[in-house]
Amino acid sequence: MAVDKIRQAKEGVEAFSAGDWERFKAPLSSDAVYEEFGTQRRVQGPDAIVELGKGWRKAFPDVKGTITKAIESADTVVLEITWEGTHTGELVGAQGSIPATRKRVRVPAVQVVSFKGDKVAETKHYFDQMTMLAQLGVLPAPVTA
């Protein structure tokens, strides 16, 4: 029976939102890669991917991803996501740390999830880091037309 790739890709976002690390890790291949282009972080392996996820949830314990669109083509699923959460913990990243601001963020994102067989082999996560940092008050708000 073929794996429902859209369901499995959505499961990653839902398990992350619930902080259910076993469920989050289950669909990942043993050599899965996760890459965040906004932060320039790239990790490999289910344990490293879970640890990176835990860091985000430590900074935003109430974070929730709402999937607004899902498209499947061959071995790839693209998810359009809106992340929302309150920054109540230290946000640690490649560019340094941001102490808790207690501010809510709403950040648009896209994940490109590639499968090898019935397992997630790679997730590329594109999110609007500039908007997130502006909402946290650590950057000026972007100029709008």
Residue 15 and residue 24 in contact, taking contact as beta carbons nearer than 8 Å:
yes
Helix (H, G, I), strand (E, B) or coil at 145: coil
Amino acid at 39: T
| Element spanning 72, H or E | strand 64-73
Measured between its terminal Cα atoms, the distance across the chain in Å is 50
Q: Write out pLDDT tens, residues 92-120.
A: 877 789 999 999 999 999 999 999 999 99
Question: pTM of the prediction?
Answer: 0.91
Residue 79 and residue 67 in contact, taking contact as beta carbons nearer than 8 Å:
yes
Q: Which of 13, 24, 12, 91 is nearest to 57 (CA)?
A: 91
Q: Write out pLDDT tens, residues 24-80.
A: 999 999 999 999 988 899 999 999 999 999 999 999 999 999 999 999 999 999 999
Q: For the purposes of burial, counting CB atoms within 10 Å of the CB of 113, is it exposed (0-12), middle (13-18) or buried (19 or more)?
A: buried
**How far is Cα 105 from Cα 112, in angstroms, rounded to an integer?**
22
